[in-house]
Structure 1
Amino acid sequence: MRLVTLKMSAVIAASLLLGACASTRNVNTGPKQPTVVRNTAHYDMSKRAPADRDGYQPPNKLAVLLPLTGSAATAAKPVRDGFLNAYYNEKRARPPLKFYDTSKGVSVAYAKAVAEGADFVVGPLLRDEVTSLFAKPDAELTVPTLALNRAQAATPGGSVSYALTPEDEAMAIANAMRSAGLKHVLIFTTADTTQRRAADAFAAQYKLQGAMASAPVVVNLKSETLNADIAGAIAAEAKTNGKIDGVFFTTRGDVVRAVVPMFASTPVANVPRMATSQIQLGNSGATDMPVLDGIRFPLDYDVESQGAGKAASRLRDFGNDAWLITAYLGRIASGEHRLNGMTGKLGLNNAGLIVRDPEWSIYRNGVPVSAP
């Protein structure tokens, strides 16, 4: 993970970082995360007022759980601002809204919100808080929640999980590549923890859709045999699992620029390529940017890899979309509709996770432009 200005980057890491997923080849990433079970519970909208024609159906009394004090308050502030901006921009009837500070304990904040009559809870924001809250028995988790992070286990029935993480970005790319008909994708990553997480998430999502994703090829730019290593990995993957029809990079741009020229005369010389938003990093002063031409990537998707100013802007968008999900939960829970949010088109899958179709960019003449 790229560490940007200390104050903001530390908070983002604390609030949005989920920890490593399953290990990649030749890298020790620690214990494997628990398997997430699919959430097939019905989202009960019967206690809310009838939905408007566009699906607007907010809860009756709303609580938002955020770390309003302490070190994590820096990350919470843009989320709060974005949520309030969207809330007040809605001119129809809105539910009473109250914020609860989780810095003294998420269980205390949740219990107080429920005791004061909230019938829907947004938050918490910190990964450990979400994990703690979602670990509660059903008898204690009486009010459904829109968590603003991913827990280490399944999202409880009736609740929702929404996050901006490397995993979410990678899953969106996997969905896009699979929708394009690509059946076998070769993954390139590095020893970086954030990039490993994205590689693992991509592979898992691709395999869930009945397609083939390679074991991640870990690139080490300092290797004296890098060219042979890359050619060997491509040849071995093609020999073992058949024709490769796509490449996915979860690396910085300098790594991509070093690797792509090595594709010449290999089976992946002309296949479609996609990358995470980290491809925009490591390119300052580079004179070989056209090497990246044709590579598609999500536009400013993963806040963990951005500078403080851009991350804060994205977190405001995140807060904006948290209100939309809250107010239109019944609409997206039907599976027939998506919301046009600030962070992309938002839907809800059967695991209780918000899925996102982000805006896409593509490199043309060495410059990223909006992709059709």
Structure 2
Amino acid sequence: MSPSVRLPILLLLSALLAACASSPDYPKVPPLPGQDLNQIQALLNRAEEAAPEESARLRMDAARLMIAEQRLDEARTLAASLFPHQLNNENKARYALLQAELSLGRNNVLAFTWLDHPYLLAAEESDIRVSASALRARALHLTGNSAAAIDELMLALELVSADQRAAIEQQLWSTLLEMDLAELQQSRDYHNQPYLTAWIELAEILKKPASLASQLERINQWASSWPTHSGQEMLVEIEQIIRESAANQPKHIALLLPQSGNLQAAGDAIRDGFMAAYYSAAETGAELPTLSIYDSEQSTVTQLINQAINDGVEMLIGPLRKGQVDELAAQPLLPLPTLSLNYSSDPQVASEGLFQFGLAAEDEARQAARRGRQEGFDRALVLTPKTPRGTRIADAFAQEWVSHGGALVDQRQFTGENDYRQVVGSLLGIDQSRGRARRLANLIGESPVFEPRRRQDVDMAFIAASAEQGRILKPTFAFQYASQLPVFSTSSIYTGQTDAARDKDLDEIKFTSYSWLLADSHPLMKRIRAQWAQANGNYGRLYALGADAFLLYPRVRQMSRIEGIELDGATGTLRMSPQQRIVRELGWYQFKNGRPVHLEELPPLAAPVTESMDAMDTETEVQPGTVGGEPGSELSPAPGFAPVN
């Protein structure tokens, strides 16, 4: 083995074993199986001894395993060492497939372009065609076209070999779990294919709100209806998880809520929302646990837990105060499983037995950052209240915005004490504009004709404000020459009651909100709003929080063990993160003539990037390397550019 060949491999393997923390996260739709680094090393060792074509194929196999390990920088380095123009047609197709996989999540347009490369489309090898369909399905799902992704996977299943079938079916299953119920119904109607219908029915069992007993009954019905379906193998694990959840269902639960003090009204709303869901379930004949309610303001968290244990409680729901949730999160293991109604200060905390749920405005700020990037905006301003909560909201937006490649140009905070004009003017650069005019006047000795100009280096603003604050801030933006600057906000900008006359000042603001505030889309919330007048305003969110706590408490263990489950709740679409935090996704609305108008959903963003935006298209210029012959023209990602001979 020559030293000139060994050196770059040693360097590459050293980088491989260094656990590079700066590599971007690979998209999670759907997850790929992990691979042992020894397998990558073995492929590289074989490549050193192989003939050029075989060596190139082995290196491409190693690069794809690196991608599976989320080691994208190493995979790009290895891909850059190839000479695609000198490969045979089969390996040119494999090369296009590799570049598509490297592009996915960083530059999805480029990924689709590679997937449409003539050599890949003309490939006759079934494994290449199956891999191309599976990757195209991932790209389609990642960009919001789940129906087309299902089409690709159904095509792959027609071509797949027996040893590849399980992986494609797992991808099909993961994709279905991440679709909402309406999308599942559309796919069922469009395909009208028994095999796919069975998979969809299985996904619906997990996604539709139902008791565990009802889920088990439906699973037995599914097994009887589809006795030879390949989903039977997966059903064994699903049924075991649900049976374990049912066997461990608490027969006595307790709410830890403020029943006195300054949070009593909030605690009462959450309690009433939970009880409305509790009694609604009772009307269907569901078996319900005994329920206790403790005042979380009268004792410490430790005292409440001890009291609950002595009373025979088997699961806690609450507390609401963030400080109390922090106390729970600091414990490595809780004596009782707990669904908190707020989030701990550290988003990475994952205390065993603690499931966190709440109405975190930070979630909505992150969603606003993603929406802004989805709409193509690049440079943002941020304006939030001068409070600890306002700082958390600003930080959440900024982190999400930057992680998706946006630039945070400037940010300010307001007190709301007659400082709106000053703060907005400073944020928009009006003060600097006036300062330049004063300096010019001093220089020339007279006052020139002057109209202030706002800064021109931004294309959107994110504000966190109440409706009352927003009715002042939006006109202030217009007064400060920024009437055309797009503004995004959170659900707090809308009171929950249509007031076209007053909310006309909020026109054009885009914001997250709850569908049931604007339409009777949630039967339980419709009943709650009819019974409690305060549920029609800002307190409606807290009633919804209580209702969703009832929906979640029997399902949290199931959601933690089956990745991809999403539930349609009153507070949004609910899913669980690896840290056992319930993440909410709300719908988008925009004020038009003082009334909220629903906005269409946009394709989801790829996984956050940790590279500079300047590096987005590096795959289009593959540098000459050391494998496959002498340097020459590269294989172009776009058909018709630089033909490959």
Deviation by residue 1:184-229 (Cα, 9 ceiling, x = unmatched): 4332335355444322221123334454434413464343992794
1:39-78 equivalences under 5 Å are: 51-52=215-216, 53=218, 59-67=249-257, 69-71=259-261, 72-78=263-269
In the other structure, the counterpart of 1:148 is 341
- Look up the SS of the partner of 2:335 in the other structure: coil
Q: Secondary structure at the match of 2:278?
A: helix
Aligned to 2:474: 256
Give the residue type in structure 2 aligned to 1:205. Answer: E
Q: Could you say what secondary structure the match of 1:142 adopts? A: strand
1:132 matched to 2:288? The reply is: no
CA contact (8 A) 2:259 2:267 kept: no
Would you tell me which structure has more strand in proportion to its own residues?
A: 1
| Residues 62 and 75 of structure 1, relative CA distance in 2, 3 Å threshold | same
Structure 1 residues 190 and 136, CA, compared in 2 at 3 Å: closer, same or farther? closer
Q: Does 1:177 align with 2:367?
A: no
Which residue, 207, 210, 215 being the options, matches 2:402?
A: 207
Amino acid at match of 1:299: S
**Could you say which residue in structure 2 is the equivalent of 1:354?**
582
Q: CA deviation at 1:87?
A: 2.2
Q: What's the Cα RMSD here?
A: 3.9
Following superposition, the deviation at residue 327 of structure 1 comes to 2.3
- Once the two structures are superposed, what CA deviation does each residue of 1:147-186 show, in whole Å capped at 9, x if it has no partner? 1112233241342211224323323323433444544433
Number of aligned residues: 307
Partner of 1:230: 429
Cα displacement (A) at 1:369: 3.0
Query: Does the CA contact (< 8 Å) of 1:134 and 1:156 recur in 2?
Result: yes
What amino acid is aligned across from residue 247 of structure 1 in structure 2? A
- SS of equivalent residue, structure 1 residue 131: helix
CA contact (8 A) 1:149 1:163 kept: yes
**Separation in structure 2 between the aligned mates of residue 338 and residue 81 of structure 1, nearest angstrom:** 24
Number of the residue aligned with 1:23: none
State the one-letter code of the partner of 1:146: L
Aligned residues of 2:382 and 2:463 also touching (Cα < 8 A): yes
Tell me which residue corresponds to 1:293.
Answer: 507
Pick the aligned partner of 1:342 from 548, 570, 589.
570
1:99 partner amino acid: I
**Contact conserved, 1:125 with 1:147, CA < 8 A, in 2?**
yes
Q: Which residue of 2 aligns with 1:159?
A: 354
Q: Deviations over 1:258-288 (max 9, x none)?
A: 1145455xxx956x5311234448xx99989
CA distance in 1, matches of 2:310, 2:512: 41
1:320 Cα deviation (Å)? 0.3
User: Of 85, 90, 109, which residue of structure 1 is paired with 2:276?
Assistant: 85
Equivalent position of 1:42 in the other structure: none
Match of 1:24 in 2: none
Question: In the TM superposition, what is the alpha-carbon distance from 1:118 to its structure 2 partner?
Answer: 3.9
Please tell me whether Structure 1 or Structure 2 has the larger radius of gyration of its CA atoms.
2
Q: 1:218 to 1:104 in 2, by over 3 A?
A: closer
- 1:13-48 residue CA offsets vs partner (Å, 9 max, x unmatched): xxxxxxxxxxxxxxxxxxxxxxxxxxxxxxxxxxx9
Cα 1:107–1:280 change in 2 (3 A) is same
1:340–1:289 distance in 2 versus 1, CA, 3 Å = closer
Cα deviation digits, residues 292-344 of structure 1 (max 9, x gap): 4332112269xxxxx97624332111100011111222454333121111111
Unaligned runs of 5+ in 2: 1-211, 220-237, 434-452, 516-532, 601-645
In the alignment, the residues of structure 1 paired with residue 558 and residue 454 of structure 2 have an alpha-carbon distance, to the nearest angstrom, of: 47
TM-score by length of 2: 0.41
Q: Distance in 2 between matches of 1:228 and 1:68?
A: 39
Show the counterpart of 1:168.
Answer: 363
Q: Give distance in 2, aligned partners of 1:50 and 1:173.
A: 37
Instruction: Give TM-score scaled by structure 1 length.
Output: 0.68
| Ranges in structure 1 where 5+ consecutive residues have no aligned partner | 1-47, 239-243, 302-306
Secondary structure in 1 matching 2:589: strand
Output the amino acid matched with 1:143. Answer: L
2:556 is aligned with 1:329: yes
Q: Select the structure with the greater relative contact order (CA < 8 A; seq sep ≥ 6).
A: 1
Change in 2 beyond 3 A, CA 1:205/1:63: farther
Tell me how far 1:349 sits from its aligned partner.
Answer: 1.6
Deviations 1:234-276 (A, max 9, x none): 98794xxxxx554312243211221145455xxx956x53112
Higher percent of residues as helix:
2
Separation in 1 of the partners of 2:310 and 2:215? 26
Matched-pair contact (CA < 8 Å) for 2:362–2:396: yes
Could you tell me how far apart the structure 1 residues matched to 2:331 and 2:478 are? 48
Classify the secondary structure of the residue corresponding to 2:429.
helix
